[in-house]
Structure 1
Amino acid sequence: MTTDRIDFTSLSDEGVTWTLLGTLYLRAWESRRPNPILGDHYAAEAVDRIDYDFAKLRRRVLPGANQYLVALRAKQLDDWCAAFLTRHPDATVLQLGCGLDSRMLRLDPRGERNWFDLDVPGVIDLRRRLYPERGRYRMIPASVTDDAWLPKVPADRPVLIVAEGLFPYLTEAEVGRLLHRLTDRFATGELLFDGLAPWAVRMNGLFRWPVRDGHQIERMNPALTLAGEVPITAHGDLIPARPVRLVYKLMHAVPALRNSLVDYRFTF
């Protein structure tokens, strides 16, 4: 990472601010707590370099509780990623809707893998100022719903596709079309993403697509096989704050709450 200060004060769109800076700030906050779950010090370094009113953002994102949601979601996906890359050291990694996530630094800090992070051009412009390309790491400025970017990702080896915090913002038709494009392009690999329950989608005007269960995805695209689904609440015992840990334990005991946010793993 570079060390110069970066001006993000021009960000005004509430949805963009949340998806870009809200999750980054929560990962940074969590990394500074005793016994962190994810411990994303790259996020903390990024926040220290960004010129933005994080005090105002903190009042909105409520890091006292939401930091654990973000950290647990990312930790499960990181664990699945690491396991896949151990089995397939020559794999290509494709992260969709990457935002300001530092997963490539957490898992491949020297840029030794074919790793592609994709997001819309405005986000990639900001991202380049935080995380410069290195080694075999590349960024693609494009919308996931566009057609032109996919041939830029080589299809000559297993591929690990990660879509954290992305699919709920798309429509069902957009998700379905994207999934078919991916499995048509790549012969074998894994797809990792998180999904929200229908009631959770209805509660937030920014979200558009819910996941009822993993088999819903198999019906959308028979090339995908459900290999794992882990509710965020399943790892509540990792939370160091006892009151929040108890809340997660109670949520895990109630099916509707347990399935509110789930990490999914599919093979193809």
Structure 2
Amino acid sequence: MQAVHSLEQDLYNQPQVARLREQLALALRAAAHHGLAEGVCNHFSVTLPGRPDLFLLNPRGLMWEEVQADDIVMVDDVGKRLAGRHEIEPTAMFIHAAIHRVARKACVLHTHMPHATALSLTEARALDTTLSQNAMRFHNRLVIDDQYNGFALDHGEGERIARAMNGADIVFLGNHGVVVCAERIDYAYDDLYYLERACEAEVLARSTGLKLKPADPRMAQKVAEQVESERLQSELFFQALGRKL
């Protein structure tokens, strides 16, 4: 048993995994800096290179603004903690483990960030991707899960959410919040940040009571393709956050 523990700890400390822990901690602190956190709730996770059955996760009980690389926990896809000094929250395991396992997403960011969550409470349930330029980058990239079932306290609910994603990178959870996924942490965080900015602009625009003027959906699709074709800006933004935070 001790030998197994040693192998898991060695994996946790490998340079590539240590770097992922640093990036995940940075994403959490950045989200707190941008006002996207909520108490000690919600989680960010990322699978290990070549090991989709193992992933890194922020621990239970820490505010995002205080998370450092050594606080990140390594777990398997059934919820067993393999390395790390903190406990894990059950709801994190049920949502994140399922999305990694069923939807095959590498990086999963789940938040109750204010403006995106506000739109999840409306009849539309989600962002209108034909309004602002920031919104257009998500055109045809998001889905809506309209079936709110309370806290995700079992594997079945997590798997239901994962299946509802139907391959999409972004899901608006009705009456709940959002999940943003990507193959890399910097890409996922960039999408998370601009998704909230787009939602904020829509909430502000709707609050004026003035009639909104959507763009042609074909233009929205063009903008989405432009963003996806060149993600250097996403990398530079995350590097800048590293220098700042």
Q: When the two structures are superposed, what TM-score results if normalisation uses the length of structure 2? A: 0.33
Higher relative contact order (CA 8 A, sep 6+): 2
